[in-house]
Amino acid sequence: MAQHDDQRGGTAGTTPANANLLAGRYLMRQQVGSGGMGAVWLAEDTVIGRRVAIKEVRLPDGLPDAERAVFSERVLREARTAGRLTDAGIVTVYDVVFSGGLSYIVMEYVESRTLSEIVRDDGPLPARRVAEIAGQVLAALDAAHEAGVVHRDVKPSNILVQANGKVKLTDFGIAQAMDDPRLTTTGTLVGSPAFMAPERISDGSERSVTPASDLWSLGATLFHAVEGYPPFERANTAATLHAIMTEVPYLSNCSGPLAAVIIGLLNANPSGRLTSAQVRGLLARVSDQPTAATANTATPASGTVAPTMVAGSIGHPPTALYDRPPGALIAPEVKRRNRKRTGVLIAVVALLAAGAFVGGLFTGKSVGASQGVPSNWVAPLTYGSGGDIPDFELDQGKCGSGQVQAGRRFTSESAIDCGQPHDFEVYSSSDTFDTSEHIDYPGYDALAAYAQSWCSLDFNSKWVTEQDKDSALKYTAVVPSQGSWGSNQPTSSPSDGSSDSSGASDSASQPTTTDTQNLNRTVYCILFRTDSGQMSQ
């Protein structure tokens, strides 16, 4: 069994301190894991004849008797808690043994690696694999929450991934049964700091321990899987907790629905956090898209702060992390790859329109942050039939002349060579729903809010390389008008144009179709200079 404390060690063949045969039943074979609170053993249940894993809980020397009693009760609580959970995605606890002054938890043996070990050994994972792991962990959490149990320590080292792809959630040692008042630790933060939800830090009481806090921890875990490092881990615990409360993590390897999942789960406001059902819907849309720069991504070296967006402003990665190509405003590799992504909006537009994204989900803000818009952001215009701009056909990586303003047309012929002086650049774009889908227009406000968040993320990323961009550049977007989006109702297309005696078409029996030839549901992000001067590369 892979150990659950992010340390792998122990001496093969080592036996427990008190006996080789535990409780006259469990033959201890070898130590397979160790951590600050004890060790994990591979053992054999000689009565049933099956392999089991046994967690040996070791308490620090000199611990007062009262605290030892609390720890012993916690061991029993873990057994009681896990005993209520019978889901296939949760490691089963079989027995609890107290022997020689030590406590042992006998559990299902799972031959696996932890998610933490996988990321450490293999690097950041592709979107599809992360989504598959996320879906299974989510199902396990749903089962626990339905049984009235909050895990309280969801993290990569507590997620076991088997060779066949099956995932199990383990280590309910600090789990809280929501209806069990027998053991609480008032004033003590229980859990792993780097994966602890902000409400648990700010409140500190048991009432802050809810299913939503587990979901936040899942979001931090998924960030770790796609980026290769924990989103908030810093040099010490105090700095880590401060980062959780004041910063928003920056995703560089992930886009689309999986990015929506991670950002939505890391919402600092529990009431605005994604629900399990919303997460499942987004995960179902994750495609097997390559992660950006995966081959060159590694866990930041000691002392290096991972790029974050600081609360109170839409921050950006320090320029020292990314060298600016001479004379380039947008990194050239971005244009070569045409980094047009199937947007987070694929499922998020519907949630935005439904009011599900409250509390600053895509605002780049966290608890206590100002809710103002970035000073260099300009409100979007609409394009298409009935919009501010009748035509906008410049795709990502294209450049144009003149101001982007109401009444102007920008056809494909309007594009100019970005190596020549130009007035604006389309630096990012995001497809939303496919135009063949009959999806109601979400409204200008929802699209504008999405555009601000999407364009801000890319503007403040490594993709826009101008070193003084916060003062030298402004950015805006053009979003689909209702006419460009498409009619909320499909149009009737009778096959033979026949009418009844009243002249009405016999449409009831005819199929309905929507003309999608001239529809466009893409959001385009646009850069231009603050002083209205021209740009060149």
Catalogue the active-site residues: 153
Beta partners for 309? 248
Nearby residues of 217 by Cβ (< 8 Å), 6 or more positions away: 151, 153, 154, 155, 191, 195, 196, 197
Query: 524, 481 in Cβ contact below 8 A?
Result: no
Query: 450, 360 in Cβ contact below 8 A?
Result: no
528: nearest Cα among 372, 399, 354, 355: 399
Quote the radius of gyration of the chain (alpha carbons, Å): 27
Task: From residue 344, give the alpha-carbon distance in Å to each of 254, 277, 402, 404.
Answer: 10, 17, 30, 25
Fill in the amino acid letter for 37: M
Beta strands in 6-154 (DSSP E): 21-22, 26-35, 38-45, 50-57, 93-99, 102-108, 113-114, 149-150
Q: What are phi and psi of 178, to 5 degrees?
A: -65, -20
Tokens of 106: 């006998």
Neighbours of 460 (CB within 10 A): 22
Residue 121 CB-density burial (10 A; 0-12 exposed, 13-18 middle, 19+ buried) = exposed
State how far the Cα of 137 lies from the Cα of 4, in Å rounded to an integer.
15
Strands 159-161, 113-114: pairing kind: antiparallel
Q: What is the largest CA-CA distance in the chain?
A: 97
State how far the Cα of 185 lies from the Cα of 204, in Å rounded to an integer.
10
State how far the Cα of 459 lies from the Cα of 468, in Å rounded to an integer.
12
CA atoms within 13 A on the CB side of 436: 0
Task: From residue 170, give the alpha-carbon distance in Å to each of 5, 53, 85, 88, 159.
Answer: 11, 12, 11, 11, 6
Query: 519, 435 in Cβ contact below 8 A?
Result: yes
Strands 341-342, 473-480: pairing kind: unpaired
State how far the Cα of 201 lies from the Cα of 203, in Å rounded to an integer.
6
State how far the Cα of 282 lies from the Cα of 292, in Å rounded to an integer.
20
Beta partners for 97? 104
State how far the Cα of 67 lies from the Cα of 63, in Å rounded to an integer.
6
Residue 307 CB-density burial (10 A; 0-12 exposed, 13-18 middle, 19+ buried) = buried
Neighbours of 357 (CB within 10 A): 26
